[in-house]
Amino acid sequence: MKSYDIYISGVGGQGIIKTSIVIGESAMRSNLNVLMSEIHGMSQRGGVVSTELKIGDAHSPIIEEGTADLLLAFEPLEALRAISKISEETYVVMNTSPTYPFNIRESKDPYPDVSVIIDELESKSKKVLAFDAEKIAKDAGHILSLNMVMIGGATAVSGFPLDKNVVLESMKDNLPEKSLEINMKAFNEGLRACSSK
């Protein structure tokens, strides 16, 4: 199969690396090839974090500009920063809750309005599924379940190559047992939020 390319962007502390591991292991459970690369940046200080995954036939994990099938954006400004990876065939799943970088908090340039970011993404992609994943995570029981909300949203995307039950099995193997109930709820709420869009 032609590779299904997922670009994941956000900031440190949002669980982006764990998201990639869960998706990657789900692909392996589905007998699909998977390649992954990651950029940590200053991840422990709220810096930029991104990962790239290719599921299927691929020779390099790097996603060329304009070729991502899915942009999974944990933070609105990071979605905008990744805009070169998308095309009119790309689906975007985006958390609308901003994480304000220290350099913007202290800058004369304000954080852009999230609706402006969504408009820009919509003009360059097939469909944008934007929702407050942070609120869903908190309602599920813990802010750290944000990444599972986002994976749930990804599974609602048309053409996403992994079955949700396989993803749930991968979550069970990669998350602490004590937080599993919260994470499962977060996943299902993310799936529901994006299925209704």
AA letter at 116 = V
Instruction: Identify whether the C-beta of residue 136 lies closer than 8 Å to the C-beta of residue 149.
Output: yes
Domain with 143, as residue range(s), is 4-195
CA atoms within 13 A on the CB side of 128: 24
- Counted domains in the chain: 1
Length in residues, the chain: 197
pLDDT digits (tens, 9 = 90+) for 143-182: 999 999 999 999 999 999 999 999 999 999 999 999 999 9
Distance CA 61, CA 140 (A): 33
Instruction: Identify whether the C-beta of residue 137 lies closer than 8 Å to the C-beta of residue 74.
Output: no
Could you tell me where the beta strands, DSSP code E, fall in 74-126?
Answer: 91-95
Q: Would you tell me how many other CB atoms lie within 10 Å of the CB of residue 134?
A: 19
CATH number of residue 90's parent domain:
3.40.920.10
Rounded to two decimals, the pTM is 0.93
How would residue 2 be classed by pLDDT, with cut points 50, 70 and 90? confident
Token pair listed for 63:
């996603």
